[in-house]
Chain A
């Protein structure tokens, strides 16, 4: 969706301001927000693409004003409500309310340690051969789905070159709306900066993105 998260190429945010000796978490609650999201992933309450979609759907003014982990907490609230893990009354009260709807099982510390070590792979069997080869010139589609996509606005309609065939992966556009994994071929596509930003752009700039096959058209 064309939400506040799709920031590439926007002006007005000012300089990048690194914080010296920045702690991993700026407050204890941030660590908890982080961990709760990992845990709900291990519990498979929802998929990661759906979570990202929910986060980027937060109204733009709110999205921009929330801190990074504030976004995570807010998204977690919205997901728990949407997936029936908690009721609005429970969220407001800050605890479960009887009768308590118990989870089928609890995520353990061991499971979390395993997840940290092994990750959760998204590559899948390919349903068909890859359409493109490295070196192919492709055009990123001009598409504006209201739902989740990983094709940023700044790349849409522009011509790039396939640098690498990454492999076949869960397709976020589909998975985020719980329409199934619909695995698609994923490519690294490189764009010239001038193609993206105009003739006045620094000629030494190139931008690479990962694009799923449905985002691309042959030239």
Chain B
């Protein structure tokens, strides 16, 4: 979606301001929000693309006003209520009121290390040939779905070169909507800075994005 998360090329945010000796978490609640989010992937009620969309899918006013972990937490609240794991009245009172919805599994403490190590690999067997090869000139499509996509606005309709054929991966645009993994070939595509930002762009800059095959057409 063309939400506030699609920040590439936006101006007016001021300088990058690194915090000296920044702690991993700025508050206790941030630690809990982080851990809860990770732990709640275990019951298998949503996939990572859905959770990314849940973060993006809010008013830009809200998105830009919230801190990083506030967004994570808001998305978690949305997902647990949308999938009937928690009800709105329970959120208000802050404890369980209704019997839990059965889920296949939950994260046990002893499994944490292994789960983190395994991660969530997205590579899948391919049953098609990759359409493009390294060196091919491609153009990104001008798509503006209201649903999840990983093609940023600043890169749409632009001419680039395939840098690398990465492999066949879960397609987020599809997976986030619950329409299945629908694995697609994934490529690194490189764009000249001036192609993206115009003739006044820095000629020494290139930008590479990872783009799935459905985002691309031959140039």
Binding site for B on A (CB under 8 A): 1-4, 9-14, 56-61, 63-65, 141-146, 153, 157-158, 196-198, 200-201
With A59-B14, A198-B141: A11-B9 Cβ-Cβ less than 8 Å: no
Please, which residue of chain B has its CB at the minimum distance from the CB of A66?
B61
Name the one of A12, A59, A144 contacting B3, with C-beta atoms under 8 angstroms.
Answer: A12
Interface of chain B residues 81 through 96 with chain A (CB within 8 A): none
B59 touches A13 (CB 8 A): yes
Please, which residue of chain B has its CB at the minimum distance from the CB of A13?
B59
B4 touches A197 (CB 8 A): no
The number of residues on chain B lying at the interface, defined by a beta carbon within 8 Å of a beta carbon of chain A, is 34
With A9-B2, A143-B198, A153-B153: A14-B59 Cβ-Cβ less than 8 Å: yes
With A10-B3, A153-B153: A57-B12 Cβ-Cβ less than 8 Å: yes
With A59-B14, A64-B64, A64-B65: A142-B144 Cβ-Cβ less than 8 Å: no
Hey, which chain A residues are within 8 Å of B61, CB to CB?
Answer: 13, 61, 64-65
Name the one of B2, B12, B56, B59 contacting A60, with C-beta atoms under 8 angstroms.
Answer: B12
A12 touches B10 (CB 8 A): no
Q: How far is the CA of A74 from the CA of B57 in the complex (A)?
A: 29
B63 touches A12 (CB 8 A): yes
Q: How far is the CA of A1 from the CA of B14 in the complex (A)?
A: 13
User: Could you name 27 residue pairs across A and B whose Cβ atoms are closer than 8 Å?
Assistant: A2-B12, A3-B11, A3-B12, A4-B10, A4-B12, A10-B3, A11-B146, A12-B1, A12-B3, A12-B56, A12-B58, A13-B59, A13-B60, A60-B13, A60-B64, A141-B199, A142-B197, A144-B197, A144-B201, A145-B200, A157-B158, A158-B157, A198-B141, A198-B142, A198-B143, A198-B144, A200-B143
Given contacts A4-B60, A64-B61, 12 further A-B contacts (CB under 8 A): A2-B10, A12-B57, A13-B60, A59-B14, A61-B64, A65-B61, A142-B198, A146-B11, A153-B9, A153-B153, A198-B144, A201-B144
Q: What is the minimal beta-carbon distance from A141 to any residue of chain B, in angstroms?
A: 6
Q: How far is the CA of A183 from the CA of B10 in the complex (A)?
A: 28
